């Protein structure tokens, strides 16, 4: 397992902000969202185009999750069309190997 230090998301264009609004980032040891830990929950304003979050959780997987539920009223700017495609331009995850005694961060894949 790796302690997550930083996660950077880059949204391609401003027209996509409404699609990303309300997204969550989870850290998981198994890849299963239900047994993962919430790192970040966006809302109620539109997210920035370049987003960086520092998280102190440990895990093997970063899960990007977003949903739109029927019967829920979302803030202005949220895109609420069903089956919207999320276009992540770039995702960078930086962390530190737990077993390492070095203080340098490593990009994990």
- Output the pTM of the full model: 0.73
pLDDT, tens digit (0-9, with 9 covering 90-100), for 18-28: 888 888 999 99
Looking at beta carbons, which pairs linking 81-89 to residues 24 or more positions away fall under 8 Å? 84/19, 85/19, 86/16, 86/19, 86/20, 87/11, 87/12, 87/16, 87/19, 88/9, 88/10, 88/11, 88/12, 88/64, 89/10, 89/11, 89/12
pLDDT beyond 50 at 81: yes
Q: What is the mean pLDDT of the chain?
A: 78
pLDDT at 37: 93
% of the chain at pLDDT higher than 70:
77
């Amino acid at each position: 397992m790796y302690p997550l230090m930083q996660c950077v998301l880059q949204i391609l264009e401003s027209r996509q902000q409404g699609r990303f609004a309300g997204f969550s980032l989870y850290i998981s040891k198994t890849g299963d969202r239900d047994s993962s830990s919430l790192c970040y929950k966006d809302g109620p304003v539109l997210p920035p185009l370049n987003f960086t979050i520092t998280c102190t959780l440990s895990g093997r997987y970063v899960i990007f999750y977003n949903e739109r539920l029927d019967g829920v009223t979302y803030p202005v700017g949220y895109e609420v069309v069903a089956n919207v495609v999320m276009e992540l331009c770039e995702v960078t995850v930086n962390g530190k190997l737990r077993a390492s005694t070095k203080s340098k961060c490593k990009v994990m894949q």
